[in-house]
């Protein structure tokens, strides 16, 4: 992870860690467009194993379907970069790793892979806790690294919001 991103996420991760540990909760991730960047940001903090169970890098649709049990009908109907798939990913990883909270991200980081309805920078992030799973659509600007970095920050900020 870039040093600038690390310095931007460190205070957020520390606060997430404190809030999770105070509740005795655990967190998991399902990452497509970030390729493990959220997990990396979380595990930079020493002692993160007390509250971070792990993550699934589910770049391919087959991994989303086979490991996270994202219904293929959702992948076929809405595409991997969609609210429906992000929500299914968040629920799937939370169940798979038996955690209290999960984050899922799916998007088009570029430079390729875009279609008119889903241009480069299109990202869906979902968070799951308790009986609630919510997703939010983002459109980030910049190159591949910038889009991925912005996705990591927004995913972490969403967890913080969920915990506070």
Q: What is the pLDDT of residues 89-126, one digit of tens each?
A: 999 999 999 999 999 999 999 998 888 899 999 999 99
Query: Pick from 31, 86, 101, 36: which is nearest to 60 by CA?
Result: 31
Contacts of residue 49, Cβ cutoff 8 Å, sequence gap at least 6 = none
pLDDT at 9: 76
Residue 67 near residue 57 (C-beta atoms within 8 A): no
Q: Is the pLDDT of residue 15 over 90?
A: yes
Contacts of residue 16, Cβ cutoff 8 Å, sequence gap at least 6 = 27, 42, 156, 159, 160, 163
pLDDT at 114: 85
Residue 81 near residue 74 (C-beta atoms within 8 A): no
Q: Is the pLDDT of residue 19 over 50?
A: yes
CATH no. for 3-163: 3.90.950.20
Q: Is the pLDDT of residue 4 over 60?
A: no
pLDDT at 6: 58
pLDDT at 1: 46
Domain coordinates in residue numbering, the chain:
3-163
Strands ordered across the beta sheet of 122-129: 52-57, 27-31, 101-107, 122-129, 132-139
Q: Is the pLDDT of residue 3 over 70?
A: no
The residue with greater pLDDT, 5 or 116, is 116
């Amino acid at each position: 992870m870039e040093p600038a991103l690390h310095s931007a996420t460190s205070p957020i991760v520390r606060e997430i860690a404190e809030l999770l540990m105070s509740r005795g909760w655990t967190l998991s991730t399902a990452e497509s467009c970030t390729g493990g960047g959220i997990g990396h940001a979380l595990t930079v903090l020493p002692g993160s194993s007390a509250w971070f169970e792990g993550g699934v890098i589910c770049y391919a649709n087959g991994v989303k379907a086979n490991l996270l049990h994202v219904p293929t009908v959702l992948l076929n109907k809405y595409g991997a970069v969609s609210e429906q798939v992000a929500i299914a990913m968040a629920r799937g990883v939370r169940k798979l790793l038996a955690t209290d909270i999960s984050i899922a991200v799916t998007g088009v980081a570029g430079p390729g892979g875009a279609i008119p309805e889903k241009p480069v920078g299109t990202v869906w992030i979902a968070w799951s806790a308790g009986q609630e799973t919510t997703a939010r659509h983002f459109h980030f600007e910049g190159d591949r690294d910038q889009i991925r970095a912005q996705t990591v920050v927004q995913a972490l900020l969403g967890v913080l919001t969920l915990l506070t």
